[in-house]
Amino acid sequence: MKKILILITEKEKFLGSFLSAAKKLKINFDIHFYSEVSIEYKENKLVIRVDEKDLKNYDLIFFRTIGSFVEIATLISEYCLEHKIKIIDPVFQYHGPYIDRKSFEYIRLIDNKLPIIDSWFVSLEELNTLEEKIIYPCVVKKTDLNRGEGVFLCKNKKELRKIFIKIKGLLLIQKYIKADKDFRLLVIGNEVIGSIERSLIFRTDHSVYETNAYHPSKQEKKIAVRAAQALGYSIAGVDLIFDSKNKKWKILEVNRAPVFKRVAEKNNINVSEKIIKFLKDQI
């Protein structure tokens, strides 16, 4: 019987839902933490095991969440490439440590001529060169965080510099698009399986939303699927916002391994089952 391995971080909240979905669908799979992975270099060979089992026992490996384990995921992907084990997502075999970074996302989106928000990726020292270009308020983001974390709204130059001094690193500055809603489209494979609209309540270093089910247009679905494909993500949460000034849709960001609880609830769908079934179909 074909076997699937799902790798997660300790913060993953959907362990139970995946187990229930696999049991219902009668799919043979294991789920483990990255901390259970052992990597051994022995006699000119690389051996990777999880829970004492060689990864060669699996037909497909799904990197659900990554967190700080990008290096391990990259090594595993190389091992899978050598031993012809399929992985989700294959992006790990080509882009190394910049996977899941907003800076990386924007390069791929630009390359595929997808609608992004005007942005700058700079350090505190480089801010002086942008003074005349930045219009306030502006949005500032850490590139290594997702799920609404590490997002700041700066109303003036003083607030912007304060954030840079606090974070001490490169940050993404984005043009602020005035809108009371944005939209999350959940993509599995080449299909949008559910969507929500999110009304912003509060934003400091994270975002809190009220949500409702949303029925996207063909154009929105096309943008979302193309964005996921451009990044090599089989499962993605694509966040869109409508720029009323230019009458165009823009991509806020693309989240690999997105939180899907609200999409599931508002659209009355079992996302875990859809993910597990999708993985089975890839073998």
Q: CATH number, domain at 166?
A: 3.30.1490.20
Please, what are the averages of pLDDT over each run of 10 residues along the chain (283 residues)? 88 82 89 94 90 93 88 89 90 66 86 94 87 89 74 91 88 90 95 92 55 95 97 94 93 90 95 94 92
**pLDDT value for 146:** 64
- Asked if the peptide bond before residue 89 counts as cis, ω within 30 degrees of 0, the response is yes
Note down the domain range covering 51.
4-96
The reply to whether 162 falls in a domain is yes
pTM, 2 dp: 0.89
Beta strands in 9-141 (DSSP E): 29-33, 37-42, 45-50, 53-54, 60-63, 86-88, 119-122, 138-141
Residue 129 lies in a domain: yes
pLDDT at residue 136 in the model: 93
Residue 126 and residue 50 in one domain: no
The count of structural domains within the chain is: 3
Shared domain check, 109 and 233: yes
**β pairing state of 191-203 and 151-154:** unpaired
**What is the C-alpha end-to-end distance of the chain, expressed in Å?**
11
